[in-house]
Structure 1
């Protein structure tokens, strides 16, 4: 059942990206409907996959990196469907990220990071659901906002209406992701004190989470108080894109710490 759901979610995401790209590059507007249908199918399939693993493990299904990647991919499809109500072609730029996360989880992660396993003592806490869920949702919303900023830069000489939509949706997405990131960091600090006796230890993940928080705090400060918008804020959003990926993927694999998987 797990393999069926796993392979099914990848298939739907691949079809979704293909349909949106056909719609964009061949100007076949009817393929948007197929793209939306397969995105919804992928969303539901990944949701069922997480529920199935949760039942099998008998705990909240966000205890390893595989499940975190699947949840993040699910979050992308959910946000994508919301963004699509404002920008019909949003799937062209958002669907590849959801597919990348799903494919990375399914085909690139070592089996040791995918298999079902009981919770280690440090994770046996009610803070697991709160902290991990909020952090992953913050990553998803921040990355979506950053991708829209990158799209703004690519289409900078395009129609004003399209640019305004991208600018406003990028701002809103980051505006939602930042408080989620803040709550996630605070809940993680409380959990760290409960598990390890210290609210903050400058673990590589904690350090990069703080750097990420600073980058987007600067973005929102300049946007709200200095009236930065358009091109200038898109530059900051693009910088934030790379910082979030370093925080989420780079630190987990390249650094040694309490949050690291030590793959490399």
Structure 2
């Protein structure tokens, strides 16, 4: 079997494996009690990752250069990056919901590359003079990995919005110096509980989260002592009461899952942003060597800057402003669209130094 035939088999195999894996993740999310389905889903994603890595390796051997010179190669490299980041995020979160949102995207990209692109765009071609540089591997690979990480992080933010039904639930625990659940204005509106024994001064206890009810076990009552739960309440506003009632509609399981998604999304985007920064700097150095200018406001460069600004705003809002929950999730979801415009929209529809070609 020659390398070209091996590539054709591997791209179709990758699509099939990702399609089956996507179905397993969806079925597992709907019926979580099915045994071994979680393990099989993760194994399927790992197999797809290995198939794509083998495909790219065969492509590298055939063409003699790092396989990132055309759209077909970059799509498969992006899919490899998404599956790699998926495996990392799933290992950190221990949640199969990660695969529910990442597997369809990985499968769709693979289907587009293997089944939609014209055959002439799938073949290896000799590099143009500007691409014959070691910067090809440095710049493009780092940019593609940053796209993969930012896409996965944004997908997890979208999943957070779905799990919380878009409600204004803010979770402390994924940014610096925070922990636990909260809602907007909750500090002023949420009642606090304390434990009081007969004849003793009240002792402060751990506040009860708005969506949970206090239990006798949580109060650690001593045998023979009579305890009274005393409610310290500052009269809440009508809007605060309505907000707490809204949060109460979310089950503890949903809140726990939302906290996990928010945390992992933040961490993955935190990984992708430095990669994007390094990739842009490397691209500027390469552009100066190839074209004599660090920055030419090419459409690709412009949208790369826009992408950087969107995710810089996201991280600034979380680290400096302390944003949690819905607001940064909406910003990250917007970033998902911006990344796709930067990567695929500009390449296919725009005219510039980074365009891969037209579908005409």
TM-score w.r.t. the length of structure 2 is 0.72
Matched with 1:175 is 270
**Matched residue SS, 2:322:** coil
Name whichever of 91-100 and 29-38 sits farther off.
29-38
Runs of at least 5 residues in structure 1 that lack an aligned partner in the other structure = none
Higher percent of residues as strand:
2
State whether structure 2 residue 161 is matched by structure 1 residue 66: no
Q: Confirm or deny: 8 A CA contact 2:160 2:261 kept in the other structure.
A: yes
Rg (Cα) greater in structure: 2
Counterparts of residues 16-35 of structure 1 (less than 5 Å): 16-27=21-32, 28-35=34-41
Q: Which residue of 2 aligns with 1:76?
A: 82
Aligned to 1:121: 129
Q: Report the alpha carbon displacement of residue 51 of structure 1 after superposing the two structures with TM.
A: 0.3
User: What does residue range 141-156 of structure 1 map to in structure 2 within 5 Å?
Assistant: 141-156=149-164
User: Who is 1:109 aligned against?
Assistant: 117
**Structure 1 residues 29 and 202, CA gap change in structure 2 (3 angstroms):** farther
Please tell me whether the aligned partners of residues 70 and 356 of structure 2 are also in contact (alpha carbons under 8 angstroms): no
Where structure 2 has 5 or more consecutive residues not aligned to the other structure, the ranges are 1-5, 165-249
Moved more, 63-72 or 83-92: 83-92
Decide which moves more: 133-142 or 110-119: 110-119
Please provide the CA RMSD for this pair: 1.2
By relative contact order (CA 8 Å, sep 6+), the higher-ranking structure is 2
Out of 194, 199, 221, the residue aligned to residue 316 of structure 2 is 221
Structure number having the greater helix percentage: 1
Q: Return the offset for 1:23.
A: 0.9
Q: TM-score, normalised by structure 1?
A: 0.97
Please give the per-residue CA displacement for 1:200-247, whole angstroms capped at 9, x wherever unaligned: 110000000000011111111111111001111101111111111111
Moved segments of 4+, more than 4 Å: none
* Per-residue CA distance 1:65-103 (angstroms, 9 max, x = gap): 111100110111111111112133121111111101111
SS of 2:68 mapped into structure 1: coil
Question: Which of 229, 232, 257 is the equivalent residue of 1:162?
Answer: 257
- The counterpart of 1:240, out of the listed 331, 335, 338, is 335
Q: Report the number of matched residues.
A: 264
Is the 1:153–1:231 Cα contact (8 Å) retained in structure 2? yes
Deviation for aligned residue 1:29: 4.5
Alignment partner, residue 95 of structure 2 = 88
